[in-house]
Structure 1
Amino acid sequence: MYSALEIEVKDIYGQLQINDMQPLNIETVASHFNISLIYKPIESKALSIANKKAIFIDERKDPFRQREDFCHELCHILKHTGTQNNTHYLFKQMQENQANAFMYHFAIPSFILNKIDIPNSIYDAAPYISRNFGVTYEFAHQRLDMFLRNVIANPKYYFQKHYEGAIDYA
């Protein structure tokens, strides 16, 4: 029971031929979408002008935070048009919320989380996910929280998929 966002992310990963746990190579993703990736000592942002697309990444940040920023800005390139400068603050907030949701799901896709054995303790799981997906501990912790809330909301689907009927439901 994947959401539309999770299906979209899975489709993009299919295009990129990525189907296992690994830190996302942002240069490869940028190249796939014909996006110029520019490292500068400025706040990360995305620009799309007359079919020219660019993502500026803050070179002062560590690679984990750069990867997180890239995923956020990639959403703006793929889903949003125009500039946020003169838009209503609620519309801007909606776009930022979409970009944040995309960021978490693109950096750590649900379809990959469903395939791996995640350590049982959040204190073990977050560092494991952080290392293997190349994101910060805080980011991994937040994404795991999102993922586990979905598991709680849809336990029958999750347990059937992972344990093939080992758990019976009344």
Structure 2
Amino acid sequence: MKLSYTPTPLETWISHFYKQLGIKTPEELDEHRIARSLGIHLFYKEIPSMAYEFGRFKSITIDKRLPSLVQREHFYHELCHILRHSGRQLMMPAAFRELQEWDARNFTRYAALPLHMLKNYDYKQPEILDILSEQFKVTPELCSDRLLRIKSKLSCNPIRFIS
């Protein structure tokens, strides 16, 4: 018997998005590959991370002073802004800016550890967070947050069995 997990629409969309790009394993998750396939210019500079769009020009700049695992998380955050948001945050009301930032943090969890890649792990292993962190190249904290959210969703929903 298995527990049934119903993905959110965003989780489903991200898995579908990656599959369309031919990304099926953690090893294939690569910022340069993703950016190139979307026509996004990717830069690493000693400035705060940001996304920029002007007409058809799109770019993501990642703060290269950050640890590499955090840089990757910043990439997913900024990617969300390009894929899902519009407008200049400096010009918008605080509540709308906060909503976009919440969405980008949520997107980062799913994009960094996509559901279709999480199915073949043994989550009872004591070192699972280190394993996921190493394979997905993100912080153990992000991995922990992702797994806790999955677990809470499983315990909040009535358990359904798949035969």
Q: Same fold (TM over 0.5)?
A: yes
Query: 1:107 corresponds to which letter in structure 2?
Result: A
Aligned to 2:132: 129
C-alpha change, 1:133 and 1:62, in structure 2 (3 Å) is: same
Maintained 8 Å contact 1:35/1:55? yes
Q: How many residues align?
A: 158
C-alpha change, 1:152 and 1:22, in structure 2 (3 Å) is: farther
Gaps of 5+ in 1: 166-170
Equivalence map 1:16-165=2 (5 Å): 16-22=21-27, 24-113=29-118, 115-120=119-124, 123-154=126-157, 156-157=159-160, 160=162, 165=163
Q: Distance in 2 between matches of 1:38 and 1:118?
A: 36
User: SS at 2:89's partner residue?
Assistant: coil
Give per-residue Cα distances to partners, 1:21-68, cap 9 Å, x unaligned.
Answer: 336200000001100001100111000111100000011112211110
Deviation of the 1:154 alpha carbon:
3.9
TM-score (norm: length of structure 1): 0.86
Q: Distance in 2 between matches of 1:150 and 1:132?
A: 24
Structure showing greater relative contact order (alpha-carbon pairs closer than 8 Å, 6 or more residues apart)? 2
Deviation of the 1:150 alpha carbon:
2.0
TM-score (norm: length of structure 2): 0.89
Q: Distance in 2 between matches of 1:150 and 1:112?
A: 18
Q: Distance in 1 between matches of 2:18 and 2:48?
A: 27
Question: Percent same amino acid among aligned pairs?
Answer: 34
